[in-house]
């Protein structure tokens, strides 16, 4: 369903355990960036009515999630601040082809893979975190991340035949798995 080629390993769960505050701050930034990605896609492909409608919905939902994470941070006395992001998103974006319509396909699939990895990570958090409030919080977000992934993959098929989209998704999924396996020294949602 999520088209991921790997599962999160114990290294990341250890990072979360040791630096939960940093992962929560990064999560807020991720929600904000996800809203920005959807808004950029809406601007880039205004001629696609369904895409515009879906991106509007995702922007609103991601901003709602951003504010939910901010409230959680405030409740826990964790100040929201700038953080150096992980290399995950930048490395995935380097894989996006330059020419349309391949660029549209890749932009949508990369966004979808980021949503899929977030969904998979939320699933890990809802199972493994000792904090019941955080387990419930990540459980509440799990389904929307999976839905966003499915929307992005479906919309990519507006720009290329399904067989091409699915073949490219396989390629990008393999690259995403390699990026996740390499990890990041900083504790982040996608480290």
Kindly list the structural domains of the chain, giving each domain's residue range(s) and its CATH number in brackets, ordered by start. Answer: 10-182 (1.20.1260.10)
In order of 48, 71, 159, the CA distances from 26 in angstroms are 32, 14, 32
User: pTM for this one?
Assistant: 0.96
C-alpha angle 77-81-84 in degrees, rounded to nearest 5: 130
Alpha-carbon distance 86 to 66, whole Å?
18
- Determine the length of the chain: 191
Burial class for 176, CB neighbours closer than 10 Å (0-12, 13-18, 19+): buried
Residue 59 near residue 39, CB atoms below 8 Å: yes
* pLDDT at residue 61 greater than cutoff 90: yes
pLDDT above 80 (res 1): no
Share of the chain above pLDDT 70, in %: 100
Q: CA-CA distance, 61 to 35, in Å (whole number)? A: 8
The 10s digit of each residue's pLDDT in 102-156 is: 999 999 999 999 999 999 999 999 999 999 999 999 999 999 999 999 999 999 9
Distance CA 153, CA 182 (A): 25
Q: What is the pLDDT of residues 158-188, one digit of tens each?
A: 999 999 999 999 999 999 999 999 988 888 9
């Amino acid at each position: 369903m999520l088209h991921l080629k790997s599962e999160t390993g114990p290294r990341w769960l250890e990072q979360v355990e040791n630096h939960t505050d940093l992962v929560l701050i990064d999560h807020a930034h991720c929600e904000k960036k996800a809203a920005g990605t959807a808004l950029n896609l809406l601007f880039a492909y205004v001629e696609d009515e369904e895409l515009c409608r879906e991106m509007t919905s995702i922007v609103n939902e991601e901003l709602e999630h951003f504010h939910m994470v901010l409230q959680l941070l405030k409740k826990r006395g964790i100040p929201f601040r700038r953080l150096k992001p992980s290399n995950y998103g930048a490395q995935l974006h380097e894989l996006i082809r330059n020419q349309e319509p391949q660029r549209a396909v890749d932009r949508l699939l990369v966004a979808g893979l980021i949503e899929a990895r977030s969904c998979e990570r939320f699933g890990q958090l809802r199972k493994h975190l000792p904090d019941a409030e955080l387990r419930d919080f990540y459980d509440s977000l799990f389904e929307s991340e999976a839905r966003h992934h499915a929307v992005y993959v479906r919309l990519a098929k507006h720009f290329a035949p399904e067989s091409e989209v699915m073949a490219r998704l396989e390629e990008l999924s393999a690259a995403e798995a390699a990026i996740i396996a390499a990890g990041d020294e900083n504790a982040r949602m996608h480290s």
